[in-house]
Amino acid sequence: MGREDSVSNGLMTTATLACVAVLAMASVLLGWQKGRGGGGGGGRVQALIYEFQHRCALPLHLLRKISEAMTHEMTAGLSTESGSRMPMLPTFVEKMPTGNEKGVYYAVDLGGTNFRVLRVLLGGREKRVMKQEFEEVAIPHPLMVGTSAELYDFIAKKLTDFVSRESSEFSTHAAAGARELGLTFSFPISQHSINSGLLIMWTKGFKIADGVGQDVVQALQQAMNRQHGPKLRVAALVNDTVGTMAGGRYFDPDVMIGIILGTGTNACYFERADNVHKLQNGKPLPKTGSMVYNMEWGAFWSSHIPTTHVDEQLDAESINPGQQLYEKMIGGMYLGDIVRRMLLKLAREASLFSGEVPQQLMTPFVLGTPEVSKMHADESIDLRVVAKTLAKIGIHRTYLHTRRAVHDVCDIVALRSARLAAAGITGILRKIGRDGKNGEYTRTVIAMDGGLYEHYAKFRIYIQAALTELLGEEAVKYVVLENFKDGSGIGATLLAACHSQHG
Ligand code: BGC
């Protein structure tokens, strides 16, 4: 999305935006009433949907409390090592790309369901990104739960193959010696420097016991050595939020925050050194200037966040119970499964599917967030996209009122997720004094990336509506959410260039 588009998004008649949330609620009520009849326990379905809606509701006063809790937790996490559930990790990124970067750089981007390798040719201020090439592959599930050597060997193999296919268009511009690489590793990492760091834990369905505590750069270098491929040096190890922020800043100097709304969720921002009081690995952090902090906001929690029994179950049955609770209500990895669990409850307790409990709904993750997004976007009178999507997972011949209920559940879950994310965003804006509350309005761009944000249109509208409620109609005009698609990969190459040994 270009800047123009997102500015106009930001300025989209705010009255319309503020109404969206209200209309969404109303559609839940009206939708059901219109579709009554035709099998199933209508009254009970309606009652359960009301209950979900009520339990997931985030009226403005709650949003404000959650947003304030976010600001508070940020300060706490910067004060002492375990001051908050959010680790607030220093990234050792103290400078952002300026546009003057030149040369050939590589990136590896690992973090969600896909894995990418890319190379770029940077041509300096005038020519910018002259050429880029990338390859993307889905990460086979066994690798997400296997051994660390298997995962790094897989990455190293793909990377070696990719680097060895570098064409002369790139190589004629490359500096002599090892190619340099930005490694985007989208998990919590305790960094010691710009290009080293220990993995704290896995998230998003990864669980590789021997990977925790390992230096990820060393692990990759060792795997590269096992491949006997071209020489590569990891110049920068970055989180995807940091890569996105750097990618955004390359094109827009007003980028202050990076946010991922994808399989998982997280945020980073520039923090002044004098606001940071904790030690890192027993040592004080540099006290000059500012540094990007990787918040790991997926670990955030506040008692004001509305939960249901379904959320508790999802967490308890996850591979990381008790962790990443905010992420489990927002991230694309989980929204589909929250919907599935709610539908299962509706089927069991209110005969949503005419008394049958579809076997398919018992399979965890059978419903993904892309399906939820498609069903939610269905505006047809007979909700035929909902029907088709349900049929794809083996639930055939549904009544219209059943499909309406499914549509309503998608709405409840996406609305809560978007409003929670908006509360987090305003929490950061408050922390950096960009929420307009001091009467000063400065254009602040938030670099966004991730499939949830990119592909789920209603979700984006809900975020914007909640931001308008929280910030007010004037201040929200200065906060621009800009989608930098695949920004994290490009950003990693740019940060590799900023930290290059070739000068
Ligand atoms: C990880 C973060 C990452 C986010 C988005 C979370 O699960 O802990 O490091 O930035 O997902 O990919």
pLDDT digits (tens, 9 = 90+) for 165-200: 999 999 988 888 889 999 999 999 999 899 999 999
Asked whether residue 60 falls in the same domain as residue 119, the answer is: no
In-domain check, residue 271: no
Q: Looking at the CA of residue 240, tell me the nearest atom of ligand 1.
A: 10
Q: Cα-atom radius of gyration of the chain, to the nearest Å?
A: 23
Q: Which residue's alpha carbon is nearest to atom 8 within ligand 1?
A: 187
CB 25 within 8 A of CB 472: no
- What is the 266 CA–ligand 1 centroid distance (Å)? 5
CB 93 within 8 A of CB 238: yes
- What is the 158 CA–ligand 1 centroid distance (Å)? 22
Asked whether residue 309 falls in the same domain as residue 160, the answer is: no
What's CA 183's distance to the chain center, in Å? 18
Tokens found for residue 492:
């990693």
Asked whether residue 22 falls in the same domain as residue 98, the answer is: no
Q: What pLDDT digit, counting tens, does each position of 422-441 carry?
A: 999 999 999 999 999 988 89
Tokens found for residue 379:
């505006």
Q: Residue 107: which CATH number?
A: 3.30.420.40
Asked whether residue 71 falls in the same domain as residue 216, the answer is: no
Q: What does DSSP say about strands 232-238 and 196-199: parallel, antiparallel, or unpaired?
A: unpaired
CB 106 within 8 A of CB 84: no
- What is the 264 CA–ligand 1 centroid distance (Å)? 5
Q: Which residue has the tokens 């709650």?
A: 62
Q: Looking at the CA of residue 189, tell me the nearest atom of ligand 1.
A: 9
Question: Which of 418, 419, 443, 415 lies closest to 429 in space, CA to CA?
Answer: 443
Which of 189, 237, 245, 265 has the most ligand 1 atoms within 8 A of CB, as the residue to mutate?
Answer: 265
Q: Active-site residues: which are they?
A: 116, 186, 240
Q: State which of 182, 214, 238 marks the end of a domain.
A: 238
pLDDT for the residue 23? 43
Could you tell me which residues come within 8 angstroms of residue 64 by beta carbon, excluding any fewer than 6 positions away? Answer: 423, 470
Long-range contact pairs involving 144-149 (C-beta distance under 8 Å, separation at least 24):
144/205, 144/206, 144/207, 144/208, 145/206, 145/207, 145/208, 146/208, 147/208, 147/210, 148/208, 148/210, 148/211, 148/214, 148/219, 149/223
How many structural domains does the chain have? 2
Asked whether residue 24 falls in the same domain as residue 150, the answer is: no
What does the DSSP assignment read for 350-386?
H-TBTTB--GGGGSTT-S-HHHHHHHHT---TT-HHH
Asked whether residue 20 falls in the same domain as residue 147, the answer is: no
Could you tell me which residues come within 8 angstroms of residue 232 by beta carbon, excluding any fewer than 6 positions away? Answer: 106, 159, 163, 178, 179, 180, 181, 224
- The angle at the Cα of 199, spanning 94 to 120, to the nearest 5 degrees, equals 55
Which of 86, 184, 242, 266 has the most ligand 1 atoms within 8 A of CB, as the residue to mutate?
Answer: 266
Asked whether residue 332 falls in the same domain as residue 424, the answer is: yes
Q: State which of 214, 238, 262 marks the end of a domain.
A: 238
What's CA 147's distance to the chain center, in Å? 25
Asked whether residue 67 falls in the same domain as residue 102, the answer is: no
Tokens found for residue 357:
């409990």
Q: What does DSSP say about strands 290-294 and 265-272: parallel, antiparallel, or unpaired?
A: antiparallel
Asked whether residue 115 falls in the same domain as residue 210, the answer is: yes
Which of 240, 244, 269 has the most ligand 1 atoms within 8 A of CB, as the residue to mutate?
Answer: 240
User: Kind and range of the H or E element at 458?
Assistant: helix 457-471
Which of 239, 294, 295 has the most ligand 1 atoms within 8 A of CB, as the residue to mutate?
Answer: 239
pLDDT for the residue 41? 65
In-domain check, residue 488: no
In-domain check, residue 86: no
Q: What does DSSP say about strands 255-261 and 444-449: parallel, antiparallel, or unpaired?
A: parallel
Asked whether residue 70 falls in the same domain as residue 100, the answer is: no
In-domain check, residue 247: no
Q: Looking at the CA of residue 187, tell me the nearest atom of ligand 1.
A: 9
- What is the 34 CA–ligand 1 centroid distance (Å)? 41
In-domain check, residue 250: no
Residues of the domain holding 13: 2-75+302-483
Asked whether residue 234 falls in the same domain as residue 368, the answer is: no
Q: Which residue's alpha carbon is nearest to atom 6 within ligand 1?
A: 264
pLDDT for the residue 287? 65
- The angle at the Cα of 324, spanning 322 to 326, to the nearest 5 degrees, equals 110
- What is the 409 CA–ligand 1 centroid distance (Å)? 26
Whole-angstrom Cα distance, residue 395 to residue 407?
A: 15
SS3 per-residue string spanning 151-220:
HHHHHHHHHHHHHHCCCHHHHCCCCCCCEEEEEEECCCEEEEECCEEEECCCCCCCCCHHHCCCEHHHHH
Whole-angstrom Cα distance, residue 319 to residue 311?
A: 14
pLDDT for the residue 338? 98
Q: Which residue's alpha carbon is nearest to atom 11 within ligand 1?
A: 264
Whole-angstrom Cα distance, residue 191 to residue 108?
A: 18
Q: Looking at the CA of residue 201, tell me the nearest atom of ligand 1.
A: 8
Whole-angstrom Cα distance, residue 188 to residue 186?
A: 7
Asked whether residue 24 falls in the same domain as residue 109, the answer is: no
- What is the 46 CA–ligand 1 centroid distance (Å)? 36
In-domain check, residue 35: yes
Beta-carbon neighbour count of residue 110 at 10 Å?
Answer: 22
Whole-angstrom Cα distance, residue 445 to residue 228?
A: 43
Q: Which residue's alpha carbon is nearest to atom 1 within ligand 1?
A: 187
pLDDT for the residue 13? 40
CB 327 within 8 A of CB 264: yes
Whole-angstrom Cα distance, residue 245 to residue 266?
A: 12
What's the predicted TM-score (pTM) here? 0.91
Task: List % helix, strand, coil for the chain (3-state, nearest 5).
Answer: 50, 20, 30
In-domain check, residue 209: yes
Q: Which residues line ligand 1 (CB under 6 A)?
A: 111-112, 186-188, 203-204, 239-241, 260, 262, 264-266, 296, 298, 327
Q: State which of 238, 257, 288 marks the end of a domain.
A: 238
Whole-angstrom Cα distance, residue 196 to residue 92?
A: 10
In-domain check, residue 266: no
Whole-angstrom Cα distance, residue 371 to residue 400?
A: 18
Q: Residue 460: which CATH number?
A: 3.40.367.20
In terms of Cβ atoms closer than 10 Å to its own Cβ (0-12, 13-18, 19+), residue 4 is: exposed
pLDDT for the residue 15? 40
**Residue 121: strand, helix, or coil:** strand
- What is the 112 CA–ligand 1 centroid distance (Å)? 8
Residues of the chain with pLDDT under 70: 1-41, 287-288, 503
